[in-house]
């Protein structure tokens, strides 16, 4: 642990995002705290703080205590709301004196669809023959409902019991991937985007709209009808405004367009209810890609107004030490994120995925996304900087210098410069 945090400090990281394992801290899902788990997280947080690195903590990242699944079906039961809130209470109480930036759930939209429709994540339930028997017509919506209520309940607890200043951020909802309406032209503006009907069909809005407006998108309720369990007035009030900022995991972009005139056949499910066509590019024949330049201003200005975005991105997997492809990716991605900033996006932070090679849920240790290489064939799991780590460190140091210069200019009455990134 000490070695890894020292590497973070050597690179120049100002913040580090990690998740706490519910099962590790509370093996029975509730009740007695595991002292070894508590000691580990206290040591990690202390080490980060001692190196001047701000801890950003995620409470849930697909590691549910098995006993809660066996006892009542986890995210399909209202009991999960109470148990998650109690778990969050333990974390806030034990770590809140050093942690002020909290994430409740990582990608609740993915939790709903991948656990109860596409059967990628546990409990792998769906209506198909090759998975645990389930009801894909309703279970994804039930799971989404209780995950949103669990998030909102934990956020309310934090604000009432633990929040000490406006700099403390209780929680946010995170979505991935990014879906952008195909109807938006390359020279789109805010006015045209807000008046376009096809801009209201994005799948990420299923979990974003409730925390902003207190209810699901109209198009979602229209397509799924009574299969969506509605929020009560009290629940809507609890969920609305329960996120101080929205976090985005952006791995890739999918363009969408309305397909409601061609309803899907077969068993209605979460995917079919979207009634959209998917495309990797605006023009399927063109090998184009998209960054935050288009999406961030659209989402912020059209849906979330002034709500802060905390952006994170993936990148090419590369285990070689001279990982030039990742450097090219980061150069383009961060540059486009800064373009979004200039266009009005309220981006307050950027997390790189990932700090070092690690365990990927669907591919184990085969995919190497880190800027720090880990030798998994070595008992000591030796760490070594990749070229991208050196590039990233140099970039951070340059930005720090520019920001300090801007502050000096502001204090001296000079015109504030907009910091930027170039090759």
Residue from 150, 119, 375 nearest 270 by CA: 119
Residues in the chain: 423
Establish whether 107 is a catalytic residue: yes
Q: What is the rounded distance in angstroms from the CA atom of residue 381 to the CA atom of residue 393?
A: 22
Can you give the C-alpha Rg of the chain in angstroms? Answer: 22
Residues 6 or more apart from 20 whose CB is under 8 A from it? 41, 57, 58, 59, 91
SS3 102: strand
Catalytic residue, candidates 69, 71, 107, 410:
107
**Would you give the DSSP letter of residue 306?**
T
Q: What positions carry a catalytic annotation?
A: 107
């Amino acid at each position: 642990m000490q070695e890894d945090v020292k590497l973070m400090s050597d690179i120049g990281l100002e913040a580090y995002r990690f998740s706490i394992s519910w099962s590790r801290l509370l093996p029975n899902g509730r009740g007695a705290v595991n002292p070894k788990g508590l000691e580990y997280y206290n040591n990690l947080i202390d080490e980060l703080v001692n190196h001047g690195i701000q801890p950003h903590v995620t409470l849930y990242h697909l590691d549910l205590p098995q006993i809660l699944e066996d006892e009542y079906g986890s995210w399909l039961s209202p009991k999960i709301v109470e148990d998650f809130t109690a778990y969050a209470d333990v974390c806030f109480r034990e770590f809140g004196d050093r942690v002020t930036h909290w994430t409740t759930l990582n990608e609740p939209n993915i939790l709903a669809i991948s656990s109860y429709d596409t059967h990628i994540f546990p409990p792998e339930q769906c209506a198909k023959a090759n998975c645990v028997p389930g009801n894909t017509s309703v279970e994804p919506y039930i799971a989404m409902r209780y995950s949103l209520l669990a998030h909102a309940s934990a956020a309310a607890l934090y604000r009432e019991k633990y929040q000490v200043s406006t700099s403390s951020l209780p929680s946010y909802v995170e979505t991935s991937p990014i879906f952008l309406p195909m109807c938006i032209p390359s020279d789109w503006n805010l006015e045209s985007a807000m008046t376009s009907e096809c801009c209201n069909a994005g799948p990420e809005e299923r979990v974003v709209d409730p925390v902003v407006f207190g209810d699901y998108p109209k198009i979602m309720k229209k397509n799924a009808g009574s299969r969506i369990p509605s929020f009560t007035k009290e629940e809507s009030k609890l969920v609305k405004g329960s996120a101080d900022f929205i976090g985005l995991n952006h791995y890739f972009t999918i363009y969408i367009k309305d397909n409601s005139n061609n309803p899907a056949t077969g068993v209605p499910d979460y995917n079919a209810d979207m009634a959209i066509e998917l495309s990797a590019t605006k023009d399927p024949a063109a090998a184009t890609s998209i960054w935050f330049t288009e999406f961030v201003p659209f989402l912020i200005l059209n849906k979330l107004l002034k709500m802060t975005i905390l952006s994170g991105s993936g990148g090419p997997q590369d285990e070689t030490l001279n990982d030039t492809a990742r450097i090219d990716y980061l150069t383009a991605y961060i540059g486009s994120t800064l373009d979004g900033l200039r266009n009005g996006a309220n981006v307050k932070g950027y997390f790189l995925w990932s700090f070092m090679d690690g365990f990927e849920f669907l591919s184990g240790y085969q995919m190497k996304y880190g800027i720090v290489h880990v030798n998994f064939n070595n008992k000591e799991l030796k760490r070594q900087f990749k070229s991208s780590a050196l590039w990233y460190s140099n970039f951070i140091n340059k930005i720090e210098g520019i920001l300090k210069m801007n502050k000096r200019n502001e204090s001296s009455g000079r015109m504030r410069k907009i910091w930027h990134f170039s090759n």
